Amino acid sequence: MIPLLRRTVLLGSAALALAPGLRRARAAEPAAATPPAPVDVRARLAYPYALPPLPYAYEANAPTVDAETMRLHHDKHHAAYVANLNAALKDHTELHDVALPDLLARLDTLPDGVRAAVRNNGGGHAWHTMFWQVMGGRGGAPEGELGAAVARDFGSFDALKAAFAKAGAGQFGSGWAAVTADREGKLALLARPNQDSPLMEGKSVLFGNDVWEHAYYLTYRNRRPDYLAAWWNVVDWGRVAERYAAIRGGATVV
């Protein structure tokens, strides 16, 4: 049995959806009541995998990302990765309790019959789970510790945007551009083809942008650089900062 990660955190939609209900429930409880047990987030990251709901409406990122693109991207593309991953692992019960980051980190040790499916569909599930979390915002620039880290490691936010645009536009065919972070808070920029996730290399993604054509083609057609430039307008830096804090605290975020 491949061991579970000690701290694997799914930030974003599930946590945000639970928070208001938890606050209301706690307000109605007596002061001496025992607080509810923490949710074991690993259950959301192991077989059978589930499509996480968007943490906002389909039109929330318009006009940068139109509602139809969001609906097709989430409800069709991401859903297909989840379904295909579950189908591939159905008969491999020894992998059912393995958290997704561990599954991807140990890709080379997986049975030949499922390795490609986990690489493509598990990688796609991880990438997209991150992607929905970091959007839905109003852009601007990172602040606080995250803003300081960007200035330290890239020179400035404008320098990061320029390097990110070059990495995203230069990714041949389908893939992703992303910024990773480590426990010391060090940031790095990378691009990866297809659904190859940095989790396969033991790296945590802080935020990233999907440069597969299905992510932008309805609005931008073949103008990937225009999409990359506009995408910053919908980044939610508050959620990115939460991911940064979790990574620095030793968690592997998805």
Q: How far are the Cα atoms of 20, 170, 223 from residue 60, in angstroms, in the given order?
A: 20, 28, 22
First CA to last CA distance, the chain: 21
Cα separation of 226 and 163, whole Å? 15
pLDDT at 252: 87
Cα separation of 232 and 149, whole Å? 18
101-114 burial string, b = 16+ CB within 10 Å, else e?
A: bbbbbbbeebeeeb
The structural domains of the chain, with segments of one domain joined by +, span 1-17+64-254
CATH domain 1-17+64-254 topology: minor pseudopilin epsh fold (3.55.40)
pLDDT at 145: 98
pLDDT at 224: 98
DSSP-based three-state secondary structure for 49: coil
pLDDT at 10: 59
pLDDT at 29: 35
Report residues of the chain scoring pLDDT below 70. 1-44
Supply the DSSP string of 140-177, one letter for each residue: ----HHHHHHHHHHHSSHHHHHHHHHHHHHHS-SSEEE
Length of the chain: 254
Average pLDDT across the chain, whole number = 87
pLDDT at 63: 98
Residue with tokens 């490691």: 153
pLDDT, tens only, 42-73: 446 899 999 999 999 999 999 999 999 999 99
